[in-house]
Amino acid sequence: MAREVIFVVEESPEGGYEARAVGHSVFVEAETLDELRTRIQDAVRCHFEPADMPDLIRLHQVRDEVIAA
């Protein structure tokens, strides 16, 4: 079974995107989703030791939307 780390991705109130790792103290911000993906990969490489490096990075994108009732 592959080891993976999950990031919850949300739009930032200030613009751009934020991503937080579930169960790990990794937080990343970026202006675009492409930039965010690159920064997440870099952050994972820095956070984990080679023996503990996950095989997969899963991004769970969350978007709140409010509509009139």
Q: What is the pLDDT of residue 49?
A: 95
In a domain, 43, yes or no: yes
Distance of CA 33 to the CA centre of its chain: 10
Count of domains for the chain: 1
14 lies in some domain: yes
- How confident is the prediction along the chain (69 residues), in pLDDT tens digits per residue? 679 999 999 999 999 999 999 999 999 999 999 999 999 999 999 999 999 999 999 999 998 888 999
44: in domain = yes
Q: Quote the longest CA-to-CA distance of the chain.
A: 51
Neighbour-count burial of 36, counting CB atoms closer than 10 A to its CB (0-12 exposed, 13-18 middle, 19+ buried)? buried
What pLDDT does residue 1 have? 64
User: Is position 36 within any domain?
Assistant: yes
Q: What pTM was estimated for this model as a whole?
A: 0.88
Residue 32 belongs to a domain: yes
Does 1 reside within a domain? no
Spell out the residues 6+ positions from residue 13 whose beta carbon is closer than 8 angstroms to its own.
Answer: none
- The answer as to whether 67 is a domain residue is no
Any domain includes 69: no
Domain extent at residue 27: 8-62
